[in-house]
Structure 1
Amino acid sequence: ITGLLLALNLPSSAPWWMCAVGAFIAMLFGKHIFGGLGHNPFNPALIARVFLLLSFPTLMTTWHQGFNVDALSCATPLGMLKTEGVSAIQNLDNWRLFVGLPVNGVGGGSIGEISELAVLIGGLLLIALRIIPFFIPLIYIVTVFLFTWIFHVYNPSLYASPVFHMVTGGLFLGAFFMATDMVTTPITVKGKMIYALGCGLITSLIRLFGSYPEGVSFAILIMETLTPTIDKITKIKKFGA
């Protein structure tokens, strides 16, 4: 699973050796250094993604247009929003971005960020099979939608619409496949809800005010550091204790 998630967090143009380095970091520093399977406090694939992003920023931010791996490199919608502002993304077709098709030379991203539709279908399948709880991705996504909507209503010329934030970046990938990791999320239902809410808020804050265009990876890792505290606060007390 870690290998698949790591692949989804890499651009299609990533060289083989960078994939190998990422896998090594994920296994050693993301999992085995903490005691192996079931003991890791952080999602190993996210540890590897952040390491690669900091170590090889150019290779990690070289994208291709949508599903066309032979196309020229292009800017991601979130990247364009961060560098050029709302005016640069106003004419983008949200449906094409949602499906994974480039719009006017804009598109791409990591493999798991290209088509939100494909990720959504996979996430709904996991929920239908009862592999992941439905409320974690629901709370995560709704929080991002509401938070970005508030700022968009406040100043639409400065902040993009919440729909744009839904159809771009790694929100769905993070919400369905990363934030639902059974090992790194809180134990109680209440704790999981707080965790998902925190992921949504931090993701929104980074997207709106941070220097980096995407905040999903950082948001999930930050909330994973708080998982023990959330468990302590929300744990069910024994009767009579």
Structure 2
Amino acid sequence: MRFPTAPAPHLAPTASTHRIMQWVLLAMIPGTAAQLWQFGPGVLVNLALAVTTALTAEYAMLRLRTRHSRAGLSDWSATLTGALLAVSLPPITPWWVTVFGTLFAIVIGKQLYGGLGYNPFNPAMVGYAVLLISFPKAMTAWLPPADITGTYWGLSDAWNAIVHHTGPDGSSFDAVTMATPLDTLKTQLGLGRMMDEIQSGPLFGALAGKGWQWVNLGYLAGGLWLLRRGLIAWQIPTGFLAALGTWSLVFFLLEPQTYPTPLFHLLGGATMLGAFFIATDPVTASTTPKGRLIYGALIGSLVFVIRAWGGYPDGVAFGVLLLNLAAPTIDHYTRPRVYGHPG
């Protein structure tokens, strides 16, 4: 008697794609809440604009490609791409900048290559890099965090800034924005000032930049939850943070008046968001155990190089995109030995 046999794999997966995407979105809540606390409700406006644009672009591209649009939208990957891009942007980014970056991320960074699973680059970072190169002024116009001002923008203030490009009570847009701690540090060091002078300013806190340290701690909490649930591999964030921390410690010990402390790097900029939510993208990252560690370490090293000597204050997006290119090569040379075959 012949029995029907199902094709491999014979073990059912423990989680579907859409469930993993939903868990990652849930893990982003602590960091996003910290951003909302420190930078106001513009974060929510950015999220609404980016996610709506991402879903619309995903639907349109799937229809153009004659793909099943309902199945494509239900995997939550477009929602996650929009959310990651939104929280990477300044909270009062002009609406059309957010929309353009999200369209580029979905259409060019994802669907042009065939959709989820075929894109060689992280779509959110593709969109972010294009915006940073194309609109540098808008991408560096951050609000002072609540830790400094002690004030909190209302939703109407954020809406007017994003849609009409005006500050509260019609004030100049440039008058209410400021540089980030990383940007301020790079500028002041370029003017020949020492670290003690720079970090005595109001923008710097006990751990890192005021406001930014709480945002990074929020994303750290969410990232540790992802690790605990086994949704991301430990090697990439470990390699990322270890390399960034090691390089920053070495140069801080060599020249403490020129380079900030390791804590400033680890809790500044997009470090924790990059280490746990962006670099760990399963489609574009390295997949072998040893390769993941190398992949994460190289991204952390590039982030330090760009922050210390590059032209941009933060280097997470460029570090991730450059290592996306190298991921297949890293995997090729770090393939584990197959049982029963010589190494």
TM-score normalised by structure 2 residue count: 0.63
Counterpart residue number, 1:150: 250
* Aligned amino acid, residue 251 of structure 2: F
Alignment of 1:169 onto 2:269: yes
Per-residue Cα deviation, 1:135-157 (whole angstroms, up to 9, x for no partner): 31122112111101101111111
The structure-2 alpha-carbon separation of the partners of 1:89 and 1:172, relative to structure 1 and needing over 3 Å to count, comes to farther
Counterpart residue number, 2:188: 84
> Structure 2: which 5+ runs fail to align?
1-79, 147-151, 158-167, 169-175, 190-194
CA distance in 1, matches of 2:184, 2:214: 15
Question: Which moved further from structure 2: 195-204 or 15-24?
Answer: 15-24
SS at match of 1:97: coil
User: How do 1:78-227 and structure 2 match up within 5 A?
Assistant: 78-85=182-189, 86-91=195-200, 92-95=204-207, 97=209, 100=211, 115-227=215-327
Q: Kindly state the Cα deviation for residue 125 of structure 1 after the two structures are TM-superposed.
A: 1.6
Counterpart residue number, 1:8: 87
Per-residue Cα deviation, 1:12-56 (whole angstroms, up to 9, x for no partner): 001222221111101111111111111111100000000011111
Alignment of 1:51 onto 2:130: yes
CA distance in 1, matches of 2:216, 2:126: 22
Query: Is the 1:140–1:200 contact (alpha carbons within 8 Å) kept by the matching residues of 2?
Result: yes
The structure-2 alpha-carbon separation of the partners of 1:95 and 1:153, relative to structure 1 and needing over 3 Å to count, comes to closer
How much is the aligned-residue C-alpha RMSD, in angstroms?
2.0
Query: Is the 2:182–2:268 contact (alpha carbons within 8 Å) kept by the matching residues of 1?
Result: yes
The structure-2 alpha-carbon separation of the partners of 1:46 and 1:88, relative to structure 1 and needing over 3 Å to count, comes to farther
Q: Kindly state the Cα deviation for residue 240 of structure 1 after the two structures are TM-superposed.
A: 5.8
CA distance in 1, matches of 2:259, 2:228: 34
Q: Kindly state the Cα deviation for residue 171 of structure 1 after the two structures are TM-superposed.
A: 0.8
CA distance in 1, matches of 2:197, 2:303: 21
CA distance in 2, matches of 1:146, 1:201: 9
TM-score normalised by structure 1 residue count: 0.88
- Pick from 109, 121, 132 the counterpart of residue 42 of structure 1: 121
CA distance in 1, matches of 2:242, 2:198: 22
Per-residue Cα deviation, 1:118-145 (whole angstroms, up to 9, x for no partner): 1111111211221111231122112111
CA distance in 2, matches of 1:50, 1:79: 16
> Structure 1: which 5+ runs fail to align?
101-106, 108-112
CA distance in 1, matches of 2:115, 2:214: 31
Counterpart residue number, 2:109: 30
Which has more radius of gyration? 2
Indicate the percent of aligned positions where both proteins have the same amino acid: 39
